[in-house]
Amino acid sequence: MVQTVVPPDRFWFVGIIFFILGLGTLLPWNFFMTASLYFQARLNTTGGTNGTMEEPKEYYFNNWMTLLSQLPLLLFTLLNSFLYQRLCEAVRIAGSLVFILLFFILTAVLVKVPMGEDRFFSITMATIWFINSFGAVLQGSLFGLVGLLPQKYSAVFMSGQGLAGTFAAVAMLLAIASDADSESAALGYFITPCVGTLVTLFSYLLLPRMKFAQYYLKKSSSQYEAVTTEEPVKESSTVENGKLNGHANGTVTSNSTKVEEEVEPTPGENKQAFLTLNHVEQEPEKASVLEVFKKIWVMAFCVTFVFTVTLSVFPAVTVDVKTAYPGKWERFFISVCCFLTFNINDWLGRSITTLVHWPKKESRLFPVLVVSRVVFIPLLMLCNVQPRNYSPVFFENDFVFTAIMVLFSVSSGYFVCLSMSYAPQLVEPKDAETAGALMTFFLALGLSIGAALSFPLRALV
C-alpha cells in the first residue's frame, strides 16, 4: 500500500499566510467604508462654488460606495473563467495586489490635493470601482487556492477577512483620537492599508516556499518521502482530491509522466495493483457547473441571503445612527458602535466556525436560521437614524443599537463562513474548486443585491 507523508505546516506558517491573505482581500472595502466620515466631510460642505453659501449637495456617498464596491465583485466573478484560462494564478494574485497598492497610494495623495466636490466624488468613485475590481480578482483567485487545502484553512482565511474590518476600524479610531489635523490624520489612515497590502504581497510570494503548501497546491517538483508495503494497492487508497498520493516507487511528482515511464513492476509486485495505479494517474473528469450547483444550491442561497440582509443596512443605514449623548463621545460613536462593533463580532462569528459546526450542512434548520436574519433590517431602521422622513424612532438608546449590531454581525460572520466551508464538502474532491468559484459568485451576488437594496431602505427611514 502506498502512502504519502504529508509535510507538516511548521509553526503554522501556511495558516498565518492565509490569514494575512484573507485580511488583505478585504482591506480596500473596509478602509473606504470606515472612512465614510472623512469622505462626507469633504463632500458635504456649505460653501458654494463662487464663494456663496449654498445648501450642501447630497451625494449619497455610502450608498454609491457600497454599490460600486460590490458590482465589480459580481462582474469579475462572472469573468473568472475567462481570466483563469488566460492569466496564471501568480499574475492574477500578485498583479491585483500591486494595482490595489497603487490605488491606495493615489487615495492617500488626494488627501492633500484640494479640488471641487464633484470632481473629488467622481475620482473617489472611480478609485472605488477599480480597486474593488482588482480586489474581486484577488478574492476569487484566493478562494480557489485555499479550497485546495484542508477545510480548516478556509476557515482561517475567512477569519482573516473578518479581521480586516477591525483593522480598519482601529486605524480610524487612532486617526480620530490623534491630535493631528484632519488632513494629516486622514493621510496616516490611508497609508496604513498601503503597508498592509505590501505585507499581503510578500506573504503570497513566500507561500510557494512552504513545503506544506507545495504538497497541496502542486507547485513543486520536489519528491516527498513515502512508505511502501507489500500489500496490494486499491484505487480508493491512492487518490486524494482527485490526485495520486504517491506512485509505485514511493515518490510524488508534479509532472504528467506516467508511472510506467518511471518504474517497472518488480517480479514480486502485484501486477494488477501496478496497472491500477497507472490507470488512476489520469486526471479525473470534473462535473459540470450545473451538476455542482445542484449539490450546493442550498449553501449558495444561504450565502446570498446573508450578504443581502447585511449589505442592505450596513453601512448605508447604520452609519447615520446618532448617539443619544452628544458631546465628545459623538466623535467616536459611529467608529465604535457601528464599525468596530460590527467588524469585531463579524470576525468572532467567523472564528467560532473553527470550533462549532451547527446546524449541520444537511439540516433544514440551517436555511431557516439564515432567513430569520431578515428581522435585523426593521430593527436597525427603527434605531436613531437621522435624518428620517417616515418611520418613528423606537430604539434611541446607544446600548440597544450596539446590542442589535452585535447579534447582527456575529450571525453574519458565522453563517457566511459556515456556508462557504460546507459547500466544498457537498461535492467530490475533484469538484471542490468549482464549488468554491460558484460560492464566490453567489457571495458577490448577495453583496450586490444588498447594496442595491440600501437605496430604497435608506429612503424609507
Q: What is the pLDDT of residue 246?
A: 34
Cell of 218: 502542486
Task: Identify the weakest region by mean pLDDT among 103-112, 263-272, 277-286, 450-459.
Answer: 263-272
Of 110-119, 349-358, 374-383, give the range with the top mean pLDDT. 374-383
Q: Are 177 and 292 found together in one domain?
A: yes
Distance CA 5, CA 240 (A): 13
Residue 43 near residue 180 (C-beta atoms within 8 A): no
Residue 26 near residue 161 (C-beta atoms within 8 A): yes
Q: What is the pLDDT of residue 403?
A: 97
User: Region 358-378: what's the mean pLDDT?
Assistant: 95
Q: Are 34 and 132 found together in one domain?
A: yes
**Contacts of 258 by beta carbon, 8 Å cutoff, 6+ apart:** 278, 281
**Per-residue DSSP letter, 339:** I
pTM over 0.75: no
Domain boundary among 280, 303, 331: 280
User: Region 275-304: what's the mean pLDDT?
Assistant: 77
User: Region 431-438: what's the mean pLDDT?
Assistant: 80
Distance CA 212, CA 234 (A): 26
Q: Are 79 and 184 found together in one domain?
A: yes
Q: What are the strands, taking DSSP E only, across 116-242?
A: 226-228, 239-240
Q: Are 190 and 228 found together in one domain?
A: no
- Confidence label for 213 from pLDDT (cuts 50, 70 and 90): confident
Q: What is the pLDDT of residue 222?
A: 41
User: Region 368-396: what's the mean pLDDT?
Assistant: 94
**Contacts of 327 by beta carbon, 8 Å cutoff, 6+ apart:** none
Q: What is the pLDDT of residue 225?
A: 38
Domain membership of residue 214 (yes or no) is no
Cell of 217: 497546491
Percent of the chain with pLDDT over 70: 81
- Confidence label for 308 from pLDDT (cuts 50, 70 and 90): very high
Q: What is the pLDDT of residue 85?
A: 66
Q: Are 361 and 417 found together in one domain?
A: yes
Residue among 363, 380, 377 at smallest CA distance from 302: 363
Q: What DSSP assignment string belongs to 39-82?
A: HHHHHS--B-TTS-B-PPP---HHHHHHHHHHHHHHHHHHTHHH
pLDDT digits (tens, 9 = 90+) for 26-69: 888 888 888 887 888 888 765 444 455 566 677 888 888 888 88
Residue among 440, 433, 368 at smallest CA distance from 158: 440
Q: Are 42 and 139 found together in one domain?
A: yes
Q: What is the pLDDT of residue 233?
A: 40
Q: Are 265 and 324 found together in one domain?
A: no
Cell of 53: 453659501
Domain membership of residue 110 (yes or no) is yes
Cα–Cα–Cα angle for 380, 193, 37, nearest 5°? 40
Q: Are strands 226-228 and 243-244 parallel, antiparallel or unpaired?
A: unpaired
**Contacts of 147 by beta carbon, 8 Å cutoff, 6+ apart:** 154, 424, 432, 433, 435, 436
**Per-residue DSSP letter, 285:** P
User: Cis ω on the peptide bond leading into residue 232 (within 30° of 0)?
Assistant: no
Task: Identify the weakest region by mean pLDDT among 310-314, 412-416, 428-432.
Answer: 428-432
User: Region 309-334: what's the mean pLDDT?
Assistant: 92
Question: Buried b / exposed e across 23-60, counting CB within 10 Å, b at 16+?
Answer: bbbbbbbbbbbbbbbbbeebbeeeeeeeeeeeeeeebe
Beta bridge partners of 226: 4
Q: In the predicted model, is pLDDT for residue 342 greater than 70?
A: yes
Q: Are 105 and 90 found together in one domain?
A: yes
Task: Identify the weakest region by mean pLDDT among 19-33, 99-113, 296-310.
Answer: 19-33
- Confidence label for 224 from pLDDT (cuts 50, 70 and 90): very low
Q: In the predicted model, is pLDDT for residue 275 greater than 80?
A: no
Domain membership of residue 215 (yes or no) is no
Q: Are 228 and 356 found together in one domain?
A: no
User: Region 206-232: what's the mean pLDDT?
Assistant: 61
Distance CA 390, CA 460 (A): 6
Total residues belonging to the chain: 461
User: Region 231-245: what's the mean pLDDT?
Assistant: 37
Distance CA 449, CA 427 (A): 27
User: Which structural domain range is residue 147 located in?
Assistant: 2-50+58-209+286-460
Residue among 99, 100, 203 at smallest CA distance from 145: 203
Q: What is the pLDDT of residue 321?
A: 95
Q: Are 264 and 321 found together in one domain?
A: no
User: Region 118-125: what's the mean pLDDT?
Assistant: 93
Residue 24 near residue 162 (C-beta atoms within 8 A): no
Q: In the predicted model, is pLDDT for residue 141 greater than 60?
A: yes
Q: Are 76 and 23 found together in one domain?
A: yes
Q: What is the pLDDT of residue 279?
A: 46
Task: Identify the weakest region by mean pLDDT among 40-49, 133-142, 167-176, 291-300.
Answer: 40-49
Task: Name residue, grid cell 490624520.
Answer: 185
pLDDT digits (tens, 9 = 90+) for 249-258: 333 333 333 3
pLDDT digits (tens, 9 = 90+) for 63-107: 888 888 888 878 887 776 666 667 888 888 999 999 999 999 999
Q: In the predicted model, is pLDDT for residue 311 greater than 80?
A: yes
Pick 400 or 165 by higher pLDDT. Answer: 400
Q: In the predicted model, is pLDDT for residue 140 greater than 60?
A: yes
Q: Are 297 and 235 found together in one domain?
A: no
Domain count for the chain: 2
CATH code (residue 25):
1.20.1250.20
Q: What is the pLDDT of residue 424?
A: 87
Q: What is the pLDDT of residue 239?
A: 37
Percent of the chain with pLDDT over 90: 38
Q: What is the pLDDT of residue 17?
A: 94
Of 242-256, 281-295, 425-439, give the range with the top mean pLDDT. 425-439
Distance CA 368, CA 298 (A): 11
Residue 73 near residue 448 (C-beta atoms within 8 A): yes
Mean per-residue pLDDT of the chain: 81
Chain-centroid distance, C-alpha 379: 26
